[in-house]
């Protein structure tokens, strides 16, 4: 549900992805703090979910929680970047098709 909600948020407001993942924006005052808080909140929430799942024997993995969190969030970041690139490519192709028609 966490990632479904994040996906919906980024789909509705794709500029959030730019703000979170764009390295150039990090030079501006306060942006790093905002990004850190967002990532920290996601890490803490996911850590709690994984730890609860391990305690309840829902997750039967021996990997450390912090490693799982980094892998999951890294994969999610990669997925969101790919979705953003795909959406841009589709939009660009649609615009070019409209111009040539």
Mean pLDDT of the chain: 83
pLDDT at residue 21 is higher than 70: no
pLDDT digits (tens, 9 = 90+) for 34-82: 778 878 888 998 999 999 999 999 989 999 999 999 999 888 878 877 8
pLDDT at residue 12 is higher than 80: yes
Question: Length of the chain, please?
Answer: 101
At residue 6 the predicted structure's pLDDT band, cuts being 50, 70 and 90, is confident
Residue 43's contacts (CB-CB under 8 Å, 6 or more residues apart) are: 69, 73
| Nearest-10 Cα torsion for 9, 14, 19, 24 | 160
Contact indicator for 86, 94 with CB cutoff of 8 Å: no
Contact indicator for 31, 19 with CB cutoff of 8 Å: yes
Radius of gyration of the chain measured on its C-alpha atoms: 17
More confident residue, 25 or 44: 44
């Amino acid at each position: 549900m966490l990632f479904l909600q994040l996906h919906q948020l980024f789909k509705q407001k794709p500029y959030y992805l730019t703000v979170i993942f764009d390295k150039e924006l990090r030079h501006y005052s306060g942006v790093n703090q905002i990004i850190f808080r967002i990532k920290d909140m996601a890490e803490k929430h996911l850590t709690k979910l994984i730890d609860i799942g391990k305690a309840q024997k829902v997750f039967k993995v021996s990997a450390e929680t912090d490693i799982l969190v980094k892998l999951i969030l890294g994969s999610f970041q990669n997925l969101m970047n790919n979705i953003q690139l795909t959406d841009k490519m589709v939009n660009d192709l649609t615009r070019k098709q409209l111009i040539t028609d």
